Amino acid sequence: MTAALGLFLTTLAAALALALFWPRRGLLARWRQTHQLADRVLIEDALKHIHARELRGTLATPESLAGKLGVSVRQALEMIERMEEGGLAHSTGRGLRLTPSGRKAALRVIRAHRLLERYLADELRMPLEEVHATADRREHVLTAEEVDELEAQLGYPQQDPHGDPIPTSSGALESLEATALTDWPVGRPARIVHLEDEPPEALAGIVSAGLVLDMQIEVRQVGKERLVVWDGEQERELAPVFASNVFVAGLSHPVQPPVRLSSLEPGEAGRILALRCEGLGRRRLLDLGLTPGTVVECAFPGPLGEPTAYRVRGALIALRKEQGDEIEIEPVSAARRE
Amino acid sequence: MATATSPAGGQILESAERLRRGLGISFRDQIVEAIYEDARAIATGAVRQARPAGPTWDAKLDRILTSRIWGIPIMLLGLAVVFWLTIVGANYPSQAIALVLFRIEGAAVALFDAIGAPWWLTGFLWHGVYRGLAWVISVMLPPMAIFFPLFTILENLGYLPRAAFNMDWLFKRVGAHGKQALTMSMGLGCNAAGVIACRVIDSPRERLIAVLTNNFVPCNGRFPTLILLGIVFIAAAFPPSLATFAAAGSVVAVVVVGVLITLVVSWILSRTALKGEASSFTLELPPYRRPNIGQILYTSLIDRTLFVLYRAVIMAAPAGGVIWLLSNVVVGGESLAGWVSGFLDPLGRSIGLDGVILLAYIIAIPANEIVVPTILMTYTGAGMMIEIDSLAELRALLVGEQGWTLLTAVCLMLFSLLHNPCSTTIWTIYKETGSAKWTTIGALMPLATAFIVCFAVAQGVRLLL
């Protein structure tokens, strides 16, 4: 009887020990994995922060790091210590700097982040102000091979959906030459080249003001409470605090109102200048022969007003208004058609 | 990924990267442009095109078929004509096939009796499995063999994309794709074929919406039930001269209700489980073409009709066996069918039906064609599925003996329209989506809709009367 009980208890203990200590599957190993992941996420986010501060010219400090990551200053100091031990960063009199291997690690995470944003915005059609937060969560779990594969599948994009350059697999990062909209002179034509994605609330404000990447604008008026810009068609207003998150570059010609394919009446024609969409939608349009330079004629609208049929290279293609809005054209008079 | 082991390899990768940077963002567009430019150059060199003087035939046809006034009426009329041809044309061949197949059953039973086979073997094999099979083939084959070729003719003519073009506005409002109009018309022939047709929708979200809601258009297999109810209950309320139109009208009304429910459910889906923006919509309107008879017969008969029939037969044979067992295994003086329908009766009554009807729908999951014969079998206590040819006899049984009312008929029509898809369609949804989750939703969501709608109608009417 006691022998049987002993055998039972030993088996139970052995089973329990196995469940706890089984390599990679056991509870202990699982706990350590989550812990390590959380740890790695913190370090990678810290590296990103130091990198961003280096680019801006104001170096990161333990306090800024603690604020950014939402940890105590003491925890931030511990992390800095660990990064210094690992040869990723070092403290200088003015703040934190990355070592070459730290920069490489930071760029790897930024690369994953921006490629993920591209994927979320183009392929899943997620709203622009939501892609950043999702990419922030997923960027840490992708391996370098998976990131390379994602890049190839997306067709080697060079910018994320906010206009930030994507680092290459070898770690090269193009610098972006742009000026904040608040520092741009009134009346000089400009093109939006970058929308800062942090904080997301600011980006949401910019998006709801109707400003998008690649838009041609001109600052009309700068005030304390609002900044008025002209996009060739209408005036748009936004608060200076949002405008400081919009970056622009010079434009060689005055701002022209874009003409969209959807504005054509039956019988009118236009030559395609550019497609203002990415991902699946863009590929579909290109596949149908709607390439820049092509002359498109508006054929007839549907019985309920939408969609509209267009004549493209001899074929009849129906598009909804949203697709027509994404195609920028220059009007062509009927006589000059091929 | 290639790894650079030699210095030369590293240099090549490096310069490739540098060159890629210099390409600019539009190099992909330039590649496509170059391909199209080459194609244009080849085409202008090789093809001579006569410039037509006036507007072409195609343009004239488009002007009528997609016009504000005529576009949609013509479409509805076309659909009605296809319906009518299918129902009227299938009637005679159906009876002929049934006659032959049931004669074989009689001969086989006589043979089994002659060699002294036990009654249960004869009953299970011939009155059960074979009869189920014969019933499905005779009811299903002729309408499909007419509907699918007609549908393929419209497809070949180039009309179907115009129908999608006409309807897209509505589908856009509910977050779906205009091509869903096509998959729905296909569903009138067979929901499994309709689900397969959803492949033409290239954006995944809209495709899933079309797959999940296809069941809300009644297929050929459900028409007999609808037509029977239309004749026995709806048409009876009209003078004899108008009876056939009233019956046909009630069937059309059911289809319209189905379309409305499809739009509502699509709208709900695209705001809940399948949230998202309407993605890219592009639809090519090909030139009108003379239909190619060989191709029509091949695609409609081999690809669609036989394919669907094959799947249905696989499902119907075991169902026939089950039906026979249910009505012939007697426990405590009552057949299994009696027990089960008695158990289901309160639930059935609450949604305006009864236990026998629910039992028939459970048995008929493999094929909706056998709903009416199973109901009649259980009511009359016959040991096998039966048909009653005389209308008066049918009325006497349903109204006189079983107490069916107009409300029963309306609820049954709604239940027939909305209930879960048949097992062939469920299997097809699984094949097309590859997901157990979406298949479950595709099966249970319509069932829930059917119960909710029928319950609301039954209770509402009882409350008012």
Mutation site, B30, B33, B165, B207, interface A, largest A CB count within 10 A: B165
User: Could you say which DSSP state residue B219 is in?
Assistant: P
Name which of A125, A148, A170 is nearest B279 (Cβ-Cβ): A125
Tell me what pLDDT residue A37 has.
66
B206: nearest Cα among B161, B172, B159: B172
Determine the Cα–Cα distance for residues A16 and A320; give it in Å rounded to an integer: 62
> Are A307 and B168 an interchain contact pair (Cβ–Cβ within 8 Å)?
yes
A79: nearest Cα among A134, A121, A39, A139: A39
Tell me what pLDDT residue B122 has.
83
Listed as own residue / partner, the contacts of B448-453 with beta carbons closer than 8 Å and 24 or more positions apart are B449/B216, B449/B261, B449/B265, B449/B418, B450/B414, B450/B415, B450/B417, B450/B418, B450/B419, B450/B420, B451/B351, B453/B261, B453/B414, B453/B418
Is residue B228 situated within a structural domain? Answer: yes
Is residue B384 situated within a structural domain? Answer: yes
What letter represents residue B348's amino acid?
Answer: G
Query: How far is B360 from chain A, CA to nearest CA, in Å?
Result: 43
The dihedrals phi and psi of A303, each to the nearest 5 degrees, come to: -60, -25
Asked if A187 is an interface residue toward chain B (Cβ–Cβ < 8 A), one would say: no
pLDDT by 10s per residue, chain B, length 465: 445 456 788 888 878 777 776 665 566 777 888 888 898 889 888 888 776 666 777 888 888 888 888 888 888 888 778 877 877 787 788 888 888 888 888 888 888 888 887 888 888 888 878 887 887 788 777 877 887 888 888 888 888 888 888 888 888 888 888 888 889 888 887 888 899 989 988 778 888 999 999 999 988 778 778 877 887 787 777 777 777 677 777 777 888 899 899 999 999 988 887 776 556 788 888 888 888 888 888 877 777 777 777 877 777 788 888 888 888 888 877 888 888 888 888 888 888 888 888 888 888 887 777 788 788 878 877 767 777 767 777 888 888 788 888 888 889 999 999 988 888 889 889 998 888 889 999 999 999 999 999 999 999 988 887
> Are B178 and A281 an interchain contact pair (Cβ–Cβ within 8 Å)?
no
Is residue B305 situated within a structural domain? Answer: yes
Asked if residue A337 has pLDDT above 60, the reply is: no
Nearest 5 degrees, angle CA A103-CA A105-CA A106? 65
Is residue B60 situated within a structural domain? Answer: no
C-alpha A289, offset from chain centre: 28
Interface predicted TM-score (ipTM) over 0.90: no
Domain span at residue B348 reads 72-276+291-464
Buried/exposed B320-353: b ≥16 CB within 10 Å, e otherwise = bbbbbbbbbeeeeeebbbbbbbeebbeebeebbb
Tell me what pLDDT residue B4 has.
46
The β-bridge partners of A179 are A248
Determine the Cα–Cα distance for residues B180 and B262; give it in Å rounded to an integer: 10
Number of domains in chain B: 1
If one compares B416 and A235, the residue with the highest pLDDT of the two is B416
Residues comprising chain A, all counted: 338
Least confident span in A34-38, A211-215, A295-299, B141-145? A34-38
Tell me what pLDDT residue A126 has.
75
- Asked whether the beta carbons of A258 and A328 are under 8 A apart, the reply is yes
Determine the Cα–Cα distance for residues A211 and A238; give it in Å rounded to an integer: 10
Asked if residue A284 has pLDDT above 50, the reply is: yes
Name which of A125, A284, A316 is nearest B285 (Cβ-Cβ): A316
A125: chain B residues, CB-CB within 8 Å: 276-277, 279
C-alpha A43, offset from chain centre: 21
Mutation site, B274, B280, B285, B289, interface A, largest A CB count within 10 A: B280
Q: Which residue of B has its CA nearest to A317?
A: B284
What letter represents residue B160's amino acid?
Answer: L
Domains of chain A: 27-98 (1.10.10.10), 179-250 (2.30.30.90), 259-336 (2.30.30.90)
Instruction: Report chain A's terminal Cα–Cα distance, integer Å.
Output: 101
DSSP states of A139-194: TTT--HHHHHHHHHHHT--SB-TTSPBPPPTT---PPP--EEGGGSPTT--EEEEE
Kindly tell me the burial class for residue A313, based on how many C-beta atoms sit within 10 Å of its own C-beta (0-12, 13-18, 19 or more).
Answer: middle
DSSP states of A199-268: SHHHHHHHHHTT--TT-EEEEEEE-SS-EEEE-SS-EEEE-HHHHTTEEEEE-SS---PPEEGGGPPTT-
Q: Which of A96-105, A150-159, B84-93, B274-283 has the highest mean pLDDT?
A: A96-105
B156: nearest Cα among B4, B59, B286, B10: B286
Tell me what pLDDT residue B106 has.
84
A313: chain B residues, CB-CB within 8 Å: 36, 40
SS3 B56: coil
Q: Which of A236-240, A253-257, B221-225 has the highest mean pLDDT?
A: A236-240
Query: Cα-Cα-Cα-Cα dihedral of B311, B312, B314, B316, to 10°?
Result: 170
Is residue B62 situated within a structural domain? Answer: no
Residue B3 Rama label (left phi>0; alpha psi -120 to 50; beta): beta
Q: Which of A45-54, A195-204, B307-316 has the highest mean pLDDT?
A: A45-54
Is residue B67 situated within a structural domain? Answer: no
Determine the Cα–Cα distance for residues B233 and B370; give it in Å rounded to an integer: 20
Q: How far is it between the farthest Cα atoms of chain A?
A: 106
Name which of B36, B170, B277 is nearest A289 (Cβ-Cβ): B36
What's the mean pLDDT when you consider all of chain A?
82
The β-bridge partners of A165 are A159
Structure tokens at A93: 């009199």
Asked if residue A335 has pLDDT above 60, the reply is: no
Query: How far is B159 from chain A, CA to nearest CA, in Å?
Result: 13
Identify each DSSP E strand in B210-320 by its residue range.
282-285
Tell me what pLDDT residue B263 has.
92
Distances (CA, A) of B284 to A227, B163, B214, B319: 44, 12, 23, 43
Is residue B369 situated within a structural domain? Answer: yes
Asked if residue A237 has pLDDT above 80, the reply is: yes
pLDDT band for position A36 (cuts 50, 70, 90): low
Name which of A170, A291, A306 is nearest B29 (Cβ-Cβ): A291
Interface of A with B in 312-331 (CB under 8 A): 313, 315-320, 322-323
Distances (CA, A) of A27 to A11, A76, B185: 18, 29, 55
Least confident span in A146-150, A211-215, B303-307? B303-307
SS3 A42: helix
Tell me what pLDDT residue B25 has.
57
Is residue B148 situated within a structural domain? Answer: yes
Determine the Cα–Cα distance for residues B247 and A12; give it in Å rounded to an integer: 73
**H-helix segments, A60-166:** 62-69, 73-85, 100-122, 128-138, 144-154
Structure tokens at B179: 């091509």
**H-helix segments, B270-390:** 293-297, 307-328, 336-350, 355-363, 371-380
